[in-house]
Amino acid sequence: MYQIQQVDYGYRLKFGDFIQPSEMKSWMNESIEALTKAPDNFGVFIDLQKIKPLPQDSQNYLQQGQKLFKQKGMKRSVVILDKPITKMQFKRIAKETGIYEWERYIDAATDKDWERKGIDWITKGIDPDK
């Protein structure tokens, strides 16, 4: 399951359950279409609270999508997670695609103010890690 929503600061993405490679490929293709309307600079809020670890083929499509968002003007992104294994996997992927320095990770299981902190990072550059 995935959702792509255009919002005032850029895009809000939501992923859940176990995402097969075919579904991740569909997300990537829909992202290509959605990014045709992207402003020059934007942020991305990614909710991964319900996602299961990704199989390798799904990770490959995710990496292509991350690179595309960055190329199209993504300035900052925030990832909301609630499981340590998912956080490790997505940090590794971000490092491999080169977006890690613009991305922050917030654990929704321990931080009840995750949504405000995520939006503040995207819109105001207030680092949730500080």
Tens of pLDDT, residue by residue over 28-40, are: 999 999 999 999 9
Q: Are 75 and 102 in contact (CB under 8 A)?
A: yes
DSSP run (H or E) holding 109: none
Pick the CATH number of 2-124 from 3.40.980.10, 3.30.750.24, 3.40.50.880, 3.40.710.10: 3.30.750.24
Average pLDDT over residues 74-96: 93
**Identity of residue 108:** A
Neighbours of 76 (CB within 10 A): 23
* Whole-number pLDDT of residue 130: 87
Q: Are 79 and 105 in contact (CB under 8 A)?
A: yes
